[in-house]
Structure 1
Amino acid sequence: MKPAACGGWGVVEFLIAIALGLLITLLGSGLLVASSSNYRNHSDNAWLADGGRYALSVIGQAVRHGAYVNWDSEVAAEEPETASVAGLDAASISRNAEGISDPLPPVAHGSDVLALRFAGADDGATINCAGFAVPAGVRGWSIFYVAADAGGEPELRCKYRGAAGWGADAVVRGVESFQVLYGVDTDVPPDGVPNTYVNATAVTAADAWKRVCSVKLALLLRGAFNSRADTVPGRFDLFGPAYADAHPEDVGVRVAEASLPAAEKLRARRVFSLTVALRNRDG
């Protein structure tokens, strides 16, 4: 009687099984990488939406506080003599220096500096950009500028003067560009309606800071990783292509991904913009 044949895999079957296993592993790894990249991109975009909305909310509130005059204060008659808004183009500032008196080289595509002043009040109704109340008889400051954090990532900061001196807190990270235009009322007599929007350099040249009646600002935020699936370089015009074409000297109003380092080209990006009227000082 013949012995029963032993079952098992031959060399050929074993090699085929290994090849199929490697193929499945490769496909699974590709799906995992794609899923991880999509998750990061989705997470970055969600973070951009939250960060952009928060930054606009903080700056918008500060602009609306700008030009506030406490008419019950003893120094109310002096307050309207000082411009309530000021700014610098393509600059940063020191955390501890007085106001914007110590300009530093710009950070993140020539980002600007926006400074707002307002009167304090004893009822706690006026607060600076850090959320601290400004008492009556004191001129409050809310100053926004871009600086690099400890890891080198550009962030929008809020600078203010507190009881212990000047300080600054981060508002949002990943600020690729922060740009500001000022609505100037050129009518004689002024009617409180902006006739043109220009940058800080033009306002200073025209000695027109007291005629600024609104502020237009734009933020370009970026995610933390190269998480985009597309590889087509984009272009971001913070105030629209018409303004960027007409003002090539205004650094930072146009950011082209093609000119960025490879480690930053494929990050999620989004522009946030806001136009806010300053308070009517006579109201």
Structure 2
Amino acid sequence: MSVASQHQQGMTLAELLVAMTVGLGVLLTAGSLFIWATRAFAAQADTAAMDDAGRYALEAMARAVRQSTFVDWERDMGGPAADAPARLSGLDARRVAQTGFAIDHPIASAVHGSDVLAVRYPGSGAPPAGDGSTLDCAGFSVHRDREGWSVFYVARNAQGQAELRCKYRGASNWSAHAVVGAVDSFQVLYGLDLDADGAPERYVNASTLAGLDAALLLAGASAAERAADLRRRTHWKKLASVRVALLLHGAPSRLASTAGLRYDLFGPEYGDMAGLADPGVRLLETTLAGRHAARQRKVFATTIALPARTE
């Protein structure tokens, strides 16, 4: 019985090189796809985080502004006194110190012309804890014998990053905490309602309201009487709505077109009209980025309606 001999042959060197080249190409393609997918996921996550931060900041400010209309009917049956201070006030292109009363002694070095929005409101419930229905921006309850404050402004943290902060009055002193970070600009406009019909005739900034108040001819023989007349007639009590806008930034952008973008926080029409007179409402990517790479940025804005007043 004879057995035929069998000869086995392996891959030639040329075949091995071809196989290795094909395999390396597949690995490089898979690696590129993995890197692209990772970057896309990171960009999506960064965009989602920016969206969440913007929505949260707008909601926090809207809640504070609406709270300014609160009336403790158990204490003030007829509503606030006519000569009580206005519940809303603000500053243009300013920031405030973390300590110190409310918006006294503002600081001119604002981040990209960012504004200040100050909201004051009465507390509710018996001291010292109140009933929990009136909260400041830190989440602390304000009782009826104490006036609550929520002051929104932009400042830089210890790392030099700009953040939207909310200043509040604690039990013994003033403090502030960050609401959201990565803020490029914070702007506020006020809907002025002169005829008390519940609709604003125009939107103006805080400087315009201050100028209108300065032009009032106040009645009173003493400074205290004139101050009381100003509190009664101030244009800050003639607001029908408040418009707030934030410009937030995310990760560096890989799109070449990003470098030429322009951001109008209240739309191009207002930017054309007041872009020079109202700092921060129109910003250019070249200005914001400086010598660094362009970034992803997004404008978040909302209009907060106030109850119609009675005269």
Say which structure, 1 or 2, has more relative contact order (CA 8 Å, 6+ apart). Answer: 1
The answer for the alignment partner of 1:231 in structure 2 is 256
Moved more, 273-282 or 19-28: 19-28
Deviation at 1:82, TM superposition (A): 0.8
The answer for the alignment partner of 2:284 in structure 1 is 256
Moved more, 254-263 or 146-155: 254-263
Q: In structure 1, what residue type is equivalent to 2:41?
A: Y
Unaligned 5+ runs, structure 1: none
Q: In structure 1, what residue type is equivalent to 2:46?
A: D
SS in 1 for 2:240: strand
The answer for the alignment partner of 1:184 in structure 2 is 192
| Counterparts in 2 of 1:33 and 1:106: CA distance versus 1, 3 Å | farther
Aligned residues: 276
Contact persistence 2:138–2:177 (CA under 8 A): yes
The answer for the alignment partner of 2:123 in structure 1 is 120
SS in 2 for 1:150: coil
Q: State how far apart, in whole Å, the 2-side matches of 1:185 and 1:194 are.
A: 4
Contact persistence 2:191–2:204 (CA under 8 A): yes
The answer for the alignment partner of 1:96 in structure 2 is 99
Deviation at 1:239, TM superposition (A): 0.4
> What is the root-mean-square deviation in Å for CA atoms of aligned residues?
2.8
Deviation at 1:266, TM superposition (A): 2.9
The answer for the alignment partner of 1:265 in structure 2 is 294
The answer for the alignment partner of 2:224 in structure 1 is none
SS in 1 for 2:51: helix
Deviations, residues 43-77 of structure 1 (Å, cap 9, x unaligned): 01111221111111110010001143334337965
Q: How does 1:35-184 map to 2 (within 5 A)?
A: 35-73=37-75, 78=81, 80-122=83-125, 123-184=131-192
Deviations, residues 125-148 of structure 1 (Å, cap 9, x unaligned): 222122222111222111101111
SS in 2 for 1:92: coil
TM-score for both structures, normalised by structure 1? 0.85
Contact persistence 1:107–1:148 (CA under 8 A): no
SS in 1 for 2:185: strand
| Counterparts in 2 of 1:77 and 1:57: CA distance versus 1, 3 Å | closer
Higher helix fraction: Structure 1 or Structure 2? 2
Unaligned 5+ runs, structure 2: 1-6, 126-130, 214-234
| Counterparts in 2 of 1:33 and 1:104: CA distance versus 1, 3 Å | farther
Deviation at 1:193, TM superposition (A): 2.9
Q: Does 1:193 align with 2:199?
A: yes
The answer for the alignment partner of 1:274 in structure 2 is 302
Deviations, residues 139-176 of structure 1 (Å, cap 9, x unaligned): 21111011112322211111110112111111111111
Structure showing greater Rg? 2
Higher strand fraction: Structure 1 or Structure 2? 1
Contact persistence 2:123–2:146 (CA under 8 A): yes
TM-score for both structures, normalised by structure 2? 0.78
Deviation at 1:22, TM superposition (A): 5.5
Q: In structure 2, what residue type is equivalent to 1:95?
A: Q
The answer for the alignment partner of 1:213 in structure 2 is 240
Deviations, residues 249-274 of structure 1 (Å, cap 9, x unaligned): 2111112223323535133x221111
